[in-house]
Amino acid sequence: MNFNVIGESVNRSDAIAKVTGKARYSEDYSESDMLVGKVLRSQYAHAIIKNIDVSKAKALDGVKAVITHKDLSKIKFATAGHPWSLDPSHRDVEDRLILTDKARFVGDAIAAVVAEDELIAQKALELIKVEYDVLPAVFNAKESIQPGAPIIHEEKPDNIISSFGANIGDIDEEIKNADYIFTGEYETSAVQHCHMENQSAYAYKDSSDRIVIVTSTQIPHIVRRIVAQALGLPWGKVRVIKPYIGGGFGNKQDVTIEPLTAAMSLAVNGEPVRLTLTREEVFVDTRTRHAMLFNIKTAVSKDGYLKGIYMSNLVNNGAYASHGHSIAMSAASKFRPLYNFSAIKVEPKTIYTNLPVAGAMRGYGIPQICFALESHLDDIAKSLNIDPIEFRENNFINIGHTDKLSNLVVRSFGLKECVKKGKELINWNEKKEKYKNQSSDKRRGLGMACFSYFSGTHPVALELAGARIVMNQDGSCQLQVGATEIGQGSDTVFSQMAAEIIGIPFDMIHIVSMQDTDITPYDSGAYASRQTFVTGAAVKKAATEVRNKVLKIASKKTGLSADELDIINGDIIEKRLNGFICTIEDISMEAFYNRIDAEPITSDVSENVRMNAIAYGVTFAEVEVDIITGKIEVLEIYNVHDSGTIINPKLAEGQVQGGVSMALGYALSEKMIFDNKTGKLLNNNLLDYKLQTILDTPNIGVAFVETYDPGASFGQKSLGENPAISPAPAIRNAVLDATGVAFNKLPMNPQAVYEKFKEEGLI
Amino acid sequence: MNFNVIGESVNRSDAIAKVTGKARYSEDYSESDMLVGKVLRSQYAHAIIKNIDVSKAKALDGVKAVITHKDLSKIKFATAGHPWSLDPSHRDVEDRLILTDKARFVGDAIAAVVAEDELIAQKALELIKVEYDVLPAVFNAKESIQPGAPIIHEEKPDNIISSFGANIGDIDEEIKNADYIFTGEYETSAVQHCHMENQSAYAYKDSSDRIVIVTSTQIPHIVRRIVAQALGLPWGKVRVIKPYIGGGFGNKQDVTIEPLTAAMSLAVNGEPVRLTLTREEVFVDTRTRHAMLFNIKTAVSKDGYLKGIYMSNLVNNGAYASHGHSIAMSAASKFRPLYNFSAIKVEPKTIYTNLPVAGAMRGYGIPQICFALESHLDDIAKSLNIDPIEFRENNFINIGHTDKLSNLVVRSFGLKECVKKGKELINWNEKKEKYKNQSSDKRRGLGMACFSYFSGTHPVALELAGARIVMNQDGSCQLQVGATEIGQGSDTVFSQMAAEIIGIPFDMIHIVSMQDTDITPYDSGAYASRQTFVTGAAVKKAATEVRNKVLKIASKKTGLSADELDIINGDIIEKRLNGFICTIEDISMEAFYNRIDAEPITSDVSENVRMNAIAYGVTFAEVEVDIITGKIEVLEIYNVHDSGTIINPKLAEGQVQGGVSMALGYALSEKMIFDNKTGKLLNNNLLDYKLQTILDTPNIGVAFVETYDPGASFGQKSLGENPAISPAPAIRNAVLDATGVAFNKLPMNPQAVYEKFKEEGLI
């Protein structure tokens, strides 16, 4: 395809705003004299709240309100950031109160104070007396589903939230007839998103008795709905505004603080109340990535073909359902259009425990299943003594592959090219040869891992997006989308798309970056790597409408048909001879001011995208393992992506670098550590919780194989979450290559590596 | 017509916001640490600025910038709040610089300071040294057009801005053949709007290098255009936001402080700068109502029919053109569809003088011409010894009357009914009889005066309006209009219109009251009493689109045709049997969440209204005149209006009361007094300038005669400016009735009345 603006590495539309500090976030909009909210949290992992005495707290000077579950409605609501479903069986699990009447994890919110300032609020919290009836607690998913385990929610006495998986073909038959059977157990840990901006919101009642919430969210329209549900209000009575946000990574695809913030404001007659979580609170009472435990059994033919795969998956969901029911299902879906299995059976169990709540996080279950599967494939290849790349390539699906459950068709498949490119970038063959026989304490190895990922949630959920374009007199345009810029650069790529279609330079698109549910076109928000694909279709539709309106006026002006005209770089052109006719400004001035038929050029559209596009990619990693200390150093790492058309290469590269660096932490250092007895999070801060720093991070190589997906508005496919998926298994496979030791549990931090090496007799 | 929501006196949508102080105005949005702008003004009425030395001001600690005309472009621009015209001959006069290089009135802006606070700014102003070359000045319109008068703008050496009037029929012939000829001279004074909120704005450059201006304006989209023109920028590079505003009355239908505020911000690299005028500055450097001097010659038949009228009109426009060219023309137009003249000739001259600039003010020239005409008619009736009401009634036009110049057709005419009602309300006949022979020092009298007024500016200017509606899941809707709420209640009536058409309760419409040129549908703004009529048509169009979308879904759901369905009070009804089908919420939920064809219900429309509707009304007044002190007391006053359908009777009544109270000041006390020698305004504050207070104000009686204008979306006609038009001549005619003395000059303040009584020998 020939594009003018798409494919260019234009600067982010928010670059200057962010670099100069002009970008305003939720807290920048709140005012210094606002009332402040603070939350009292349970110190017990599982306890009935027998009594709460708030009288002393209420009496404290400067305290405006103290609320507990007794002051609020008993409506249970779901928090996951999904579009609402008209089908009740398709809705999220409603298991949450704004303030709970039973603590289900250490940190569960049981009371809230509204005060004149933070210090007073903090003092008031200390004056609240809670009488607990402490119950036995369970933290481990396996234990939680044993008979006699503590029941966390009465509605689910077996502690199982959901067990919806996948079943294609006849797995039993495949296993029965297999030449080889391979089994393996793989385990991942709970980690945290660690977005720079903590959850922060403020709420007030406007003069029409509506609740207004300004919040750092990925999903303003969904926040509106859930707050209304939690408070029992008509949905139109809630208005949500999303300013710039400092990262989300899925944690802000959930409704965490907004219903409580609104309830706190209502407790003080609608006065503005601000609630900003501390980092410690973010760790315990927002969301985490699910810890999962996979058991895999794979049938392989003697010539190295994958025949059938069975995976069980125990998913530790923590104390409330959140996204729980759908992440395991997502994991069971998105890996499927990758290898040619005749039979696939995935049996997940998503399980309540008395831990902080797991929810959406970049990759939505796929980093976990990809770790399990891609580790397992290397284990098989090693057993069969086949090159792991060749083994995978032999089993790749191809264009035209149709997933038997979702009926999604693979319309573009650049994975083979990705693997080829990655192999070259890391110099695979030469290094493989070189590292064949190592015996020193520092051993090097190569590993790789592939993944497939979807673009949005179709056909599981509704994929609706809206876009509105308003042309100014000078031909420049404002673009409004309900989709949210959360740092990923979506505002910029939408602007490129609109400029491309209309035929004007990029800087003539003024993106309206702030979403306001009162006026912003409806879009469910930033998640599932959907926006470039789904919202892109809406932007294309809106821009096409604008373009057609421009051409219609130009056509009237010239007597030429619209087909004979084009818009290039803001000029109206006669196509055949490439002759300049007038500027787009001339046309827009007509549209604004022609006395007979003035009608300013705008479009306000919605697009229901009933389509998906499957993106692919691969990570190649080279590691050096220090056998003595257990330290794994990633020497080189390359992510090569087939995400269809790349709208903005520079932003795409940044997206991949961010995703890979996140995955490096997932592979090597990050883990939420809970006290075995109390369930208390021991590393609830950025000192004890080991994020990768810039010093830990190698150069991250990024490459793209540009396919053109015919189902997409510009050939594009997902890229947002994708880079975070395959680095962990690639590194794990490189360690296997270097040391012969198979790490089946994340993270591979020095302590774990050291212990494993001891166990395996390396030291 | 049967309406459900229209015609109801629902509460203003901003009532609570305004009463509780939650409504936020420009200054409420500005921040305490913003830089502050201050303006240096000429002390001379006419002077060339030979030199300005700003070095000491610049050197003052805390001063960020000092600018003069030398720092700015030399682009001359027009300030009047009219839609742009593609026809250059139809544009406003471009005679203004942001900061002038020649002072043309006392108060003309010649330099501006940006400083950390107001005190520093004020000190800096005092440090600027200006060398003037003082020129002779002229303040009187008559003198200004004499040969040899000082030339105020080189481009107009005769000081005449415009002399466009009206000429219908053959006035010379009518006068030649007349049975009677009556002549008279009538004069009005310059007055000020005295809106509660002074002009206030702040400007900054956003991170995309665009200028953002938050300002108290009636015309945000026009401010955008004019600021761009003044600064020489593409129009899309300017964004204007209008919060709540504290009154405008036409003074904010002009661009006064915005270009300077933007220029001040640009002088400090786009940092936010606030400029708020003091009341003293508002008096001298915003706009005034034009002082006009009419000379009338009228041909009347012996049986009391008006045959022809000739009016000359000297219009004192002050130092810059502003609206000057069009107000005299408006005056020459809007009185025409009232009496059956065979010939009308109006010859205005709009004249530059060295006084503060006259511009738009409620009534736009008609209060002046109405004072002249309706006084003149009473003078004729008195001479002919005909009852002034009967005299007028005999000469009224009727339905079907077509104005020969504008081709406007009178499609509704309730004036006769208005007169009848007013006569009854004031008890005309009985009191006339009672007051026949008075000789005490306190004499009572009755007077009345009629007027006609247009609804918007068609066919003179483009009448474009936009409306956007976004339906929420619960069936409530946000309504966005480019038209501006300036206190008149337009937000409320637009909401009623939308609720009426869609079929939902009033409180299910959430009006978006703040206009933002980036996203608000285009509308030229609040002026010419156009909004209910013009924007009302756009709101109806948008609401109809929404209604049709709702019915389409309901139709699909039920299998009934849309014609068989209705929406009443938020319910979808089967019309024939009045059967409940579902709520509008059910329909909207389908629109949002149906997996197959979800498409949230919105509309975003523009309407080019090529239509006008002529409104009518009459004032009846009873006065008591104190012959000794010259004090005129208005005992009773009634305004009866034919404004077509009354959308909200309570708001309409408030509108009339405000307009009449404004006119009471115009009649009895208000006048800008200029020093004869220096041209300096002597009463530039609310102590010396005599506004009517609540204690001066009688009960104001309000009544309506509801006609239905078939050219309007709901039968409605203008009402905004109308109430301010006819009280002054009605009071003047009542004074004539009481005392036999004809006051032909406004205001009739005690001093003027006393002097006139002495002159006439009453005292």
Encode pLDDT of A626-680 as tens digits: 999 999 999 999 999 999 999 999 999 999 999 999 999 999 999 999 999 999 9
Residues from chain B contacting residue A473 (CB–CB below 8 Å):
84, 225, 235-236
Q: Are B752 and B744 in contact (CB under 8 A)?
A: no
Looking at per-residue pLDDT, the higher value among A31 and A108 belongs to A108
- Give B39's pLDDT tier (boundaries 50, 70, 90): very high
Q: Is the model's pLDDT at B256 over the cut of 90?
A: yes
Q: What is the mean pLDDT of residues B88-116?
A: 97
Mapping DSSP to helix (H, G, I), strand (E, B) and coil, where does residue B751 land? helix
Q: What is the pLDDT of residue A207?
A: 87
The whole-angstrom distance between A220's CA and the closest CA on chain B is 13
Class of domain B291-458+611-760: alpha beta
> What is the percent of chain A with per-residue pLDDT over 70, rounded to a whole number?
100
Q: Retrieve residue A667's tokens.
A: 């592979």
Q: Does A28 touch chain B (CB under 8 A)?
A: no
Q: What is the CATH number of domain A34-135+199-276?
A: 3.90.1170.50
Encode pLDDT of B480-508 as tens digits: 999 999 999 999 999 999 999 999 999 99
Q: Which is nearest to A753 in space by CA: A596, A630, A648?
A: A630
The whole-angstrom distance between A4's CA and the closest CA on chain B is 21
Contact assignment for B590 to A86 by CB distance below 8 Å:
yes
Q: What is the mean pLDDT of residues B683-705?
A: 96
- Give A2's pLDDT tier (boundaries 50, 70, 90): confident
Residues A733 and A256: their CA atoms lie apart, in Å, by: 37
Contact assignment for A593 to B85 by CB distance below 8 Å:
yes
> What is the percent of chain B with per-residue pLDDT over 70, rounded to a whole number?
100
Encode pLDDT of A446-474 as tens digits: 999 999 999 999 999 999 999 999 999 99
Contact assignment for B593 to A462 by CB distance below 8 Å:
yes
Asked if the peptide bond before residue A747 counts as cis, ω within 30 degrees of 0, the response is yes
The whole-angstrom distance between B597's CA and the closest CA on chain A is 7
CA B511 to chain centre: 23
Q: What is the pLDDT of residue B31?
A: 85
The A residues from 72 to 91 touching B (CB cutoff 8 Å) are: 83-86
Residues B662 and B668: their CA atoms lie apart, in Å, by: 10
> What is the percent of chain A with per-residue pLDDT over 90, rounded to a whole number?
98
Residues from chain B contacting residue A20 (CB–CB below 8 Å):
207
* CATH 3.30.365.10, chain A: domain bounds: 15-22+464-608, 371-457+612-760
* Topology (CATH level 3) of domain B15-22+464-608: Aldehyde Oxidoreductase; domain 4 (3.30.365)
Residues from chain A contacting residue B522 (CB–CB below 8 Å):
592, 600
Pick among 3.30.360.10, 3.40.50.2300, 3.30.365.10, 1.10.490.20: CATH of A371-457+612-760: 3.30.365.10
CA distances from A27 to A246, A276, A367 (A): 11, 8, 32
Residues B517 and A684: their CA atoms lie apart, in Å, by: 46
Q: What is the pLDDT of residue A744?
A: 98
Picking from B510, B589, B598, the nearest residue to A462 by CB comes out as: B598
Residue with tokens 């401010």: B223
Q: What is the pLDDT of residue B207?
A: 87
How many CA atoms, within 13 angstroms, populate the side-chain half-sphere of residue B220?
Answer: 32
Contact assignment for B593 to A474 by CB distance below 8 Å:
no
Q: What is the pLDDT of residue A539?
A: 98
Contact assignment for A208 to B234 by CB distance below 8 Å:
no
Encode pLDDT of B141-197 as tens digits: 999 999 999 999 999 999 999 999 999 999 999 999 999 999 999 999 999 999 999
Q: Does B32 touch chain A (CB under 8 A)?
A: no
C-alpha radius of gyration, chain A, whole number = 27
Contact assignment for A600 to B519 by CB distance below 8 Å:
no
Q: What is the pLDDT of residue A325?
A: 82
Picking from A20, A225, A590, the nearest residue to B473 by CB comes out as: A225
Query: In residues, how long is chain A?
Result: 763
Q: Is the model's pLDDT at A31 over the cut of 90?
A: no
Query: Nearest residue of A to residue B610 by CA position?
Result: A596
The A residues from 564 to 593 touching B (CB cutoff 8 Å) are: 585, 589-590, 592-593
DSSP-derived secondary structure letter, A651: H
Query: Nearest residue of A to residue B507 by CA position?
Result: A208
Picking from B519, B593, B604, the nearest residue to A512 by CB comes out as: B519
Contact assignment for B14 to A207 by CB distance below 8 Å:
yes
Contact assignment for B86 to A590 by CB distance below 8 Å:
yes
Query: Nearest residue of B to residue A82 by CA position?
Result: B593
- Give A32's pLDDT tier (boundaries 50, 70, 90): confident
Q: Is the model's pLDDT at B324 over the cut of 90?
A: no
Residues from chain B contacting residue A598 (CB–CB below 8 Å):
462, 464, 606, 608
The mean predicted confidence, pLDDT, of chain B is: 97
Query: Nearest residue of B to residue A222 by CA position?
Result: B473
CA distances from A204 to A120, A201, A212, A759 (A): 20, 10, 5, 59
Residue with tokens 């918007």: B456
Q: Does A601 touch chain B (CB under 8 A)?
A: no
CA B630 to chain centre: 31
Residues A620 and B443: their CA atoms lie apart, in Å, by: 104
Picking from B210, B476, B593, the nearest residue to A84 by CB comes out as: B593
Contact assignment for A512 to B521 by CB distance below 8 Å:
no
Q: What is the mean pLDDT of residues B515-528?
A: 97
Best mutation target, A20, A91, A592, A608, to test chain B (most B CBs within 10 A): A592
* CATH 3.90.1170.50, chain A: domain bounds: 34-135+199-276
pTM across the whole model: 0.97
Torsion of CA A428, A433, A436, A440, to 10 degrees: -80
Element (H, E) at B66: strand B63-68
Encode pLDDT of A222-247 as tens digits: 999 999 999 999 999 999 999 999 99
Residues A600 and A473: their CA atoms lie apart, in Å, by: 8
One DSSP character per residue, A344-395 reads: EEEEEEEEE-SSPPB---TTTTHHHHHHHHHHHHHHHHHHHT--HHHHHHHH
Contact assignment for A468 to B20 by CB distance below 8 Å:
no
Encode pLDDT of B403-460 as tens digits: 999 999 999 999 999 999 999 999 999 999 999 989 899 999 999 999 999 999 999 9
Contact assignment for A519 to B480 by CB distance below 8 Å:
yes
Q: Is the model's pLDDT at A419 over the cut of 90?
A: yes
Contact assignment for B598 to A589 by CB distance below 8 Å:
no
Q: Are B235 and B225 in contact (CB under 8 A)?
A: yes
* CATH 3.30.365.10, chain B: domain bounds: 15-22+464-608, 291-458+611-760
One DSSP character per residue, A192-205 reads: ----SSPPEEEEEE
Query: Nearest residue of A to residue B17 by CA position?
Result: A207
C-alpha radius of gyration, chain B, whole number = 27
Q: Is the model's pLDDT at A201 over the cut of 80?
A: yes
